[in-house]
Chains A and B, each alone.
Chain A
Amino acid sequence: MKDDAAPSAPTTAVPFDPGALGALMPMHLHVSPTGHILSVGPTLSKLRPDEILVGQRFLEVFEVKRPMHIHQFGDLLNHGSCLIRTKFRTGHRLGLKGLFVPLAAQHPLLPDRRQSGAARPVLLPNPHTVADTQPAFSGALINLSLGVNVVEAVQRYSLSSADFAPADPTVDMLYLIEAKSVALEESKRLNARLEGARVEAETQAYTDTLTGLQNRRSMDTLLHQLERSGEPFGLMHLDLDYFKQVNDTFGHGAGDYVLKRVSTVLQDETRASDLVARVGGDEFVLVFRGCVNLAVLEGIALRIITRLEEPIAYNGHQCRISASIGTTLSSFYQIPAADRMLHDADQALYKSKDRGRARHTVFDPEQRDARN
């Protein structure tokens, strides 16, 4: 640090004519010691197209947000070189930021002190000269930038790349913003398409394509979920009777038609929260969530059988079917296991078949306990 404090070489002041200053810093202000604007960079003057800034007081045109407590231009000068945040006082109150540098009348400023480890490039009055005399200023130079307001300002004031200094990467930044948003739009488009395809694939994976009912995969998912949650439920296994005859007599078209009709009946007789799955050619599983009331389920089963026995008209033929149903309840088990319950409902279903079809049988847990 000591080395920096003792300037070894004399500092050379660099004089600029206003044209060169404007080209180097198109958004600069040169301000007199009394705070009057002496010259304005060409781009900065484009931000006030209907106003002549030269001759006005800097603090009457701009409100200084940082540094704080600036009441007169002398405050800024005394502050020394600093970051400045400012806004136009009137009209479109565009925010600007930049560097304020007092210009010493007699005493050259120390150059960039970044080599001393400081974070910001700031010019300081030469400490040797400050010590013996009051610093005298010939005014100040303020170099402003649009910062993050650049997109808005470019639009509003129709700025072009010629309005930015060639060393200023703003135009490249605008290019990058635009290129990245094009790429982002393409990515969004792709994501939307993939999401659509994913949803469709998932729906297909859980749906029986002929009837629109859920499929076995969907049933497995729900049963395992109920297994984990412990939520009570009733499980019904339904097998159509005489369906093979319909297929054999009237053809597969009639069979498909009947299956669609069956799915309508099953959906009508269940709640939206229940699951109706087609798990085989003419086999269905119904899961009644939260329902272990045998009387209710018995009623539903009998209604389903009655409705399925209504003849179904197809191409002038009357297709007649019925259904056998077996039911079990999660409340029959200490720990309801999906596989076990499916097996038991199936047992009950076969009992219905044995008893002459078109019936509903409830699994008898005592029979199982006796068997075990």
Chain B
Amino acid sequence: MYGLVHRALQCFSQDTYGDVVWNKVVAEAGVQVHEYEAMLFYPDHHLDDVLLALSNHLDKTPAQVSEDVGAYLVTHQRMEAVRRLLRFGGTTFEEFVLSLDELHDRVKLALPELDLPELEVEAHSGSSFSVLVKSERHRFGAVLLGMLRAMADDFGTLVMLDLGMSTLGSDDVERATIELFETDFATGRGFGLVAEERSR
């Protein structure tokens, strides 16, 4: 898979816990890479190995760490590009959630080789949604949950989120459920269609 994903995990680990932890984790995981390059390709198992080693080191479950990674992608200054690209999905949190089934195609437009899982959004009512993660790899759901939580903050929306399993055809897939409580619970962060630094 694209090193972009590996690098996200690396940046999360380094920015949150420091270089020392990261170096221990890669040694523990037995991968021969200390610095992942976003535009190169690395084996998928690196992700599992590093995530497991990091979780063990932090005494957390891989799902907890994955959720933290999701939140980090949206909130950390270094990952501002991710937040901005996600905000293109809509002007409200609700619109953003409804745009998630476009995310796979959107990402493909920019990086054809980054194969993110397809998402399917179901609206149960005006304030209740669920997102199915169409992937055999049961890890992305937790990342998605962390991203949704952080994006809700970003829009200033109060939500309740949960992650469970669901069946899609004959497959077991992850399902994130979203309950919207207050859309203008707090002041969200701003978003302009063109990033600030592009003007300079």
Contact = CB atoms under 8 A, between A and B. Distances in A.
6 contacts: A154-B192, A155-B194, A171-B193, A176-B110, A183-B111, A187-B39
B194 A174 contact: yes
Contacts of B199: 155
Given A162-B91, A174-B88, 20 more contacts: A151-B198, A154-B192, A154-B193, A158-B192, A159-B193, A160-B193, A171-B88, A171-B193, A172-B109, A174-B193, A176-B109, A178-B84, A178-B85, A178-B88, A178-B194, A179-B85, A182-B81, A182-B85, A186-B38, A190-B39
A196 to B, nearest CB: 13
Interface string B39-56: 110000000000000000
B198 A190 contact: no
Interface in B18-57: 37-40
A161 to B, nearest CB: 6
Interface residues of A, number: 23
B76 interface: no
A175 B85 contact: yes
Contacts of B104: none
Contacts of B161: none
Nearest to A182: B81
Given A154-B192, A158-B192, A190-B37, A183 B198 contact: no
B106 interface: yes
A159 B88 CA distance: 13
A178 B195 contact: yes
Q: Which of B85, B90, B193, B198 has the most chain A CB within a 10 Å cutoff? A: B193
Nearest to B195: A178
Interface residues of B, number: 21
Interface of A: 151, 154-155, 158-162, 171-172, 174-176, 178-180, 182-183, 186-187, 189-190, 193
Nearest to A174: B193
Contacts of A187: 39
Interface string B163-200: 00000000000000000000000000000111100110
Contacts of B81: 178, 182
Nearest to A193: B37
Contacts of B193: 154, 159-161, 171, 174
A159 B192 CA distance: 8
B111 A155 contact: no
A160 B39 contact: no
Given A161-B88, A171-B88, A176-B110, A183 B192 contact: no
Contacts of A154: 192-194
B155 to A, nearest CB: 14
B104 to A, nearest CB: 14
A183 B109 contact: no
Interface string B99-116: 000000010011100000
A134 to B, nearest CB: 46
Given A151-B198, A158-B192, A175-B106, A190 B40 contact: yes
Contacts of A179: 85, 109-111
A190 B4 CA distance: 12
B67 to A, nearest CB: 24
Nearest to B109: A176
B87 to A, nearest CB: 9
A332 B38 CA distance: 58
A162 B38 CA distance: 33
A163 to B, nearest CB: 9
Contacts of A151: 194, 198
A172 B90 CA distance: 11
A186 B4 CA distance: 9
B106 to A, nearest CB: 7
Contacts of A186: 4, 38-39
A155 B192 contact: yes
Contacts of A178: 81, 84-85, 88, 194-195
Contacts of A183: 39, 110-111
Q: Which of B84, B109, B198 has the most chain A CB within a 10 Å cutoff? A: B198
